[in-house]
Amino acid sequence: MPVKSVAAVHRLRLVSGPEGLSFILLLVCSVLKRTTSFNGVPVMGAVHGALFVLYVVFLVQAHQARRWEPKRTLVLFVLSVLPTGGFFAERMLAKEERGESAAPAPAATA
């Protein structure tokens, strides 16, 4: 597996956990905004937005480097927009990094 490919998956894995956590914290801040005088939505919204953009950029890079099937990339994207989905994405990517359930290599063309 080329180094560029490994690095792309590693970057995506590293950002997936914090992105998932920031989503949950944003949801908590949203509830607190409506039920108390605390308003952390502007700060958490910015943090989550930045992490989400990084996730999408790293997802595209990993898709291109690993030549994943569109279905796999779509699943990883959908996980990023679900609460706690980032944690499942992180687990999937960690397994792939360890070689336990790596995505199939693209067929060689002659």
67 falls within a domain: yes
Number of domains, the chain: 1
Both tokens assigned to 18: 């914090």
107 falls within a domain: no
Name the CA radius of gyration of the chain, rounded. 16
47 falls within a domain: yes
Q: What is the pLDDT of residues 38-82, one digit of tens each?
A: 999 999 999 999 999 999 999 999 999 999 999 999 999 999 999
pLDDT of residue 42: 96
Percent of the chain scoring above 90 in pLDDT: 79
Task: Collect all residues with Cβ–Cβ distance below 8 Å to 58 and sequence separation of at least 6.
Answer: 8, 11, 12, 15
108 falls within a domain: no
Task: Collect all residues with Cβ–Cβ distance below 8 Å to 31 and sequence separation of at least 6.
Answer: none
19 falls within a domain: yes
Whether residue 92 is predicted with pLDDT greater than 90 in this model: the reply is yes
10 by Cβ neighbours in 10 Å (0-12 / 13-18 / 19+) ranks as middle
Which has the closest alpha carbon to 52: 91, 92, 25?
Answer: 25
